[in-house]
Structure 1
Amino acid sequence: MVLIGILVALVLERLLGRYSGWGRPVIFLRIMSLVRSLLPRAIWQSPVLPLLAIALPAAAAHWLCGLFLNPLLNLAASAGVLLLCLGPRDLAEDVRDLLAAREAGDLARAQRIVRNLQRGPQPDQSHRSLMGTLFIQSHEKLFGVLLWYFVAGPAGAVAYRVATRLPRLLAETAAGSSAQFTAEALHGLLAFVPARITAVLYGLAGSLDDALIEYRRLRAEAQHGWRSHTWALLAEIATASLRSEDDAGQAQAPDLNTALQEVLGMQLRALMILLALFAIFATGSMF
């Protein structure tokens, strides 16, 4: 049933993603705006806030889906929760908009799209390439949510979705506070294993040899903190998987437009691999 719920949510997300405004975090932002208006400033900036902001919605999702004893109704509720947790916006739409802006010569629009994509976790200044950003956003919008849903059901999907949104909100409303630090730490903790699984998926979907070489290089350097190292691994390993070889057998990276198209192709291939793995675990058989 979990796998069916994932498939239903992915199909609906693909269909509804064509409508303007779909996938924006309106519910999250409105609820958090209300909470902020009600809570004293000291509590809003305290480390307790991120813990409650993640735990309470996850518990509510678990309780809500548990109300439906009928398997079909439970499936519909779970798939609905997962659907709300995917995004915001499909990465394919962002990439297509970026390609269209570049082809039209609209540099201002292209830069605006890039800035929107670069919101969220980044490895560090030396790893803030567009390709790395796209792969991180792909994980945040899709793979991380799916992995947590498969492990912990709707509660896991909600917890990860909130964890990805909370650091940015607190950076804008409680910058430098213990609440922001706690939110970033919780996000990094929840992403620690899923981000590495996503990196493996991209390696399998692209050039696995180049991905392994990049992994060994990053492991040898060990110059990042544990949170930034997670994003560096995901960005650099996934980007390395894009490399191809020329006639002389030398590794080379594709041009930007080709790379943007390849990102979408790799995301689709990685998603197919993940769904196949889900199917194996769900059925408990390789056959």
Structure 2
Amino acid sequence: MLLIATLFALLLERLLGQLDWWGRPVLLHSTVRGARGLLRWPWLWASPAIVPVLLLPPIALVASIEQQIESPFVALGFSALVLLLCLGPRDLADDISELLRARAAGDVDTARHLARALQRGPKPDPSHRSLIGAMFIQSHERLFGVLIWFFVFGPLGAVAYRTASRLPRMLHADGESQAADFADTLHGLMAWIPARVTALLFGLAGSLDDALRAWSQLEFDPLSGDVAGWRRKTWAVLAEAASGGLETDGEDGGGPAMPPNFDAMLHEVVSLQNRALLILLAFFAFFATGAWVSGF
């Protein structure tokens, strides 16, 4: 059932992505704005307590609706709808296509703006930051992280990860605080395993040897030496291992080769994401089929 809901949601996302108004994070932003209007205590918004205050209501709402649904077909539609709303807010391939068009047209300002937008969100240590690495992190945050949580915990998992992944940016808008740091920690905990699964998927979709080599090099990185280092290391593993997956065997068989230019590399990022998604869906299908067969 979850696999069918996943396929349906992914198909709808591709179709709706053609609409200009689609892809705006309206629901979560509206919820936070409404909460700010109701909870007018500055100390609360600087306290870690605001994180469960914002996180638990959407989870409770989805759980309550799920309990009221009796028809399996309605449950399927509801699961697909929740997943659809948790993906994105924009498909990474659409943003990369816009960046490629801006570069082809020589629109430097638009290309620079799009590149900065792709680099928003969780970041590894400065020594591991790059635009390509940021795209793989965005791919995880917009797609793979949500899908993994959805497959394990259903709609509740998708809502929980989507909300937890967006809260840090919203709370950091008020400046550094205990609330923002706690949101970062919660996000890091929820992403710790899924991010590594995503890195492995990109390795399987590309050059696994190079991805594992980049991953193993991070094991000797002193990144985890401070309190927040373990969080940055998660994103470093994802950025570096996934970027390593871009390497392919050279035409002369003499070793790994990267795409010939930056535009080709952008195309390869989209291609690698699509192949990694197919691998993930294949795993979903394998486990879903096993669960279905064991039910007899």
Same fold by TM (over 0.5)?
yes
Following superposition of structure 1 onto structure 2, how do residues 221-232 of structure 1 map, counting pairs within 5 Å? 221-224=221-224, 225-232=229-236
Deviation of 1:212 after TM superposition, in Å, equals: 1.1
Aligned to 2:14: 14
Cα offsets for 1:66-120 (capped at 9, x unmatched): 2111000011111101100000110010000000011111110000001111110
Aligned to 1:176: 176
Aligned to 2:23: 23
Structure 1: gaps (5+ residues): none
Aligned to 2:103: 102
1:249 has 2:254 as partner: yes
Aligned to 2:2: 2
Distance 2:24 2:45 in 1: 23
1:238 has 2:242 as partner: yes
Following superposition of structure 1 onto structure 2, how do residues 116-135 of structure 1 map, counting pairs within 5 Å? 116-135=117-136
Aligned to 1:92: 93
Deviation of 1:245 after TM superposition, in Å, equals: 3.4
1:190 has 2:190 as partner: yes
1:138 has 2:139 as partner: yes
Distance 1:252 1:107 in 2: 28
Q: Which moved more, 1:248-257 or 1:73-82?
A: 248-257
1:81 has 2:86 as partner: no
Q: What is the TM-score with the length of structure 1 in the denominator? A: 0.96
C-alpha contact 1:140 1:164 (8 A) present in aligned 2: yes
SS of the residue 1:284 aligns to: helix
C-alpha contact 2:206 2:248 (8 A) present in aligned 1: no
C-alpha contact 1:23 1:86 (8 A) present in aligned 2: no
Amino acid at match of 2:289: T
C-alpha contact 1:66 1:74 (8 A) present in aligned 2: no
Distance 2:286 2:61 in 1: 29
Distance 2:181 2:287 in 1: 35
Amino acid at match of 2:58: P
Amino acid at match of 1:252: A
1:284 has 2:285 as partner: no
Q: What is the TM-score with the length of structure 2 in the denominator? A: 0.93
C-alpha contact 2:62 2:156 (8 A) present in aligned 1: yes
Distance 1:45 1:33 in 2: 15
Distance 1:248 1:283 in 2: 39
Amino acid at match of 2:202: Y
Distance 2:194 2:211 in 1: 17
Amino acid at match of 1:84: L
Structure 2: gaps (5+ residues): none
Distance 1:9 1:282 in 2: 17
C-alpha contact 2:223 2:230 (8 A) present in aligned 1: no
Aligned to 2:267: 261
Distance 1:49 1:122 in 2: 23
Distance 2:109 2:116 in 1: 11
Paired residue total:
286
Aligned to 2:218: 218
Aligned to 1:271: 277
Distance 2:280 2:249 in 1: 26
SS of the residue 1:220 aligns to: coil
Amino acid at match of 2:31: I
Deviation of 1:223 after TM superposition, in Å, equals: 2.2
Aligned to 2:49: 48
Amino acid at match of 2:9: A
Amino acid at match of 2:235: W
Cα offsets for 1:249-286 (capped at 9, x unmatched): 1323222111100011111100000001001111118x
How much is the aligned-residue C-alpha RMSD, in angstroms?
1.5
Distance 1:73 1:250 in 2: 52
Aligned to 1:33: 33
The structure 1 segments of at least 4 consecutive aligned residues displaced by more than 6 Å after TM superposition are none
